[in-house]
């Protein structure tokens, strides 16, 4: 080694292969949590998505619920119970960033899958849970002028700057206090002009 340094040669380096986890399409993944922490984990992941602006990589976090009829003191009462206590579903594009966000959320013990490798749910498994992969087709394109027909921006006109079919939304620029601001609007809330 000292001979190499004297001759201005570089020391050999060892290359560590780091497996990058990367997907192009969003899929549903199951995350294991501490029992009773499902809603807290859901809220924390959603807050992180908002803070780190990961809306284009992480789309939905869900705690599957089912309605159950209970009898208490002779009265029928319908209550929502967790379908899978200790589990949360996350719809995301798997990559190093999204994996890290979910894995390092307080209350998460890991993804469901061999080792630490997340395994996505199949479409058939998601249909059994009542989650449909509906694809909505709209007749708008970039640059089209649309009118917002419902929601907080109802009555607003704007030009489409981006179309996100995964989130089923469009981004338009609106004028707020004399400044152009980008706003995301769902497909169901717009009408082509």
**179 belongs to a structural domain:** yes
Per-residue pLDDT at 23: 62
Q: Are residues 37 and 121 in the same domain?
A: yes
Displacement of CA 174 from its chain's centroid (Å): 25
Per-residue pLDDT at 65: 82
Total tally of structural domains belonging to the chain: 2
Give CA–CA dist 140/154, Å, rounded.
18
Range of the domain at 40: 27-128
Residue 157: which of 144, 168, 169 has the closest Cα? Answer: 144
Give CA–CA dist 64/130, Å, rounded.
9
User: CATH number for the domain including 108?
Assistant: 3.30.70.940
Q: Are residues 107 and 60 in the same domain?
A: yes
Give CA–CA dist 33/108, Å, rounded.
4
Helical (H) or strand (E) element with 38: helix 38-51
Backbone torsions φ then ψ of 116, nearest 5 degrees: -110, 15
Q: Are residues 176 and 116 in the same domain?
A: no
Per-residue pLDDT at 183: 85
Q: Are residues 81 and 155 in the same domain?
A: no
Measure CA of the first residue to CA of the last residue in the chain; give whole Å.
73
**53 belongs to a structural domain:** yes
Q: What is the pLDDT along the chain (193 residues), one digit of tens a residue?
A: 444 444 444 444 333 333 444 567 888 999 999 989 999 999 999 999 999 999 888 988 988 888 877 777 777 788 888 888 899 999 999 999 999 999 999 999 989 888 767 888 887 787 777 665 545 567 788 888 888 887 778 888 888 888 877 677 888 888 778 888 888 888 778 888 8
Whole-model pTM: value is 0.57
From 100, 128, 156, the end of a domain falls on 128
**76 belongs to a structural domain:** yes
């Amino acid at each position: 080694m000292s001979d190499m340094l004297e001759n201005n040669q570089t020391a050999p380096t060892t290359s560590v292969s780091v497996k990058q986890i990367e997907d192009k399409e969003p899929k549903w993944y199951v995350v294991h949590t501490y029992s009773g922490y499902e809603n807290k984990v859901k809220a924390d992941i959603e807050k992180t998505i908002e803070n780190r602006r990961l809306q284009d990589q992480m789309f939905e976090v869900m705690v599957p619920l089912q309605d159950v009829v209970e009898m208490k003191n002779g009265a029928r009462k319908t209550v929502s119970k967790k379908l899978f206590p200790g589990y949360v579903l996350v719809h995301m594009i798997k990559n190093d960033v999204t994996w890290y966000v979910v894995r390092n959320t307080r209350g998460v013990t890991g993804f469901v899958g061999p080792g630490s490798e997340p395994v996505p749910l199949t479409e058939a498994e998601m249909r059994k849970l009542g989650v449909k992969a509906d694809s909505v087709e709209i007749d708008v394109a970039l640059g089209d002028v649309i009118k917002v027909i419902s929601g907080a921006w109802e009555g607003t006109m704007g030009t489409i700057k981006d179309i996100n079919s995964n989130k089923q939304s469009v981004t338009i620029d609106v004028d707020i206090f004399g400044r152009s601001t980008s706003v995301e609007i769902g497909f169901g809330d717009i009408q082509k002009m």
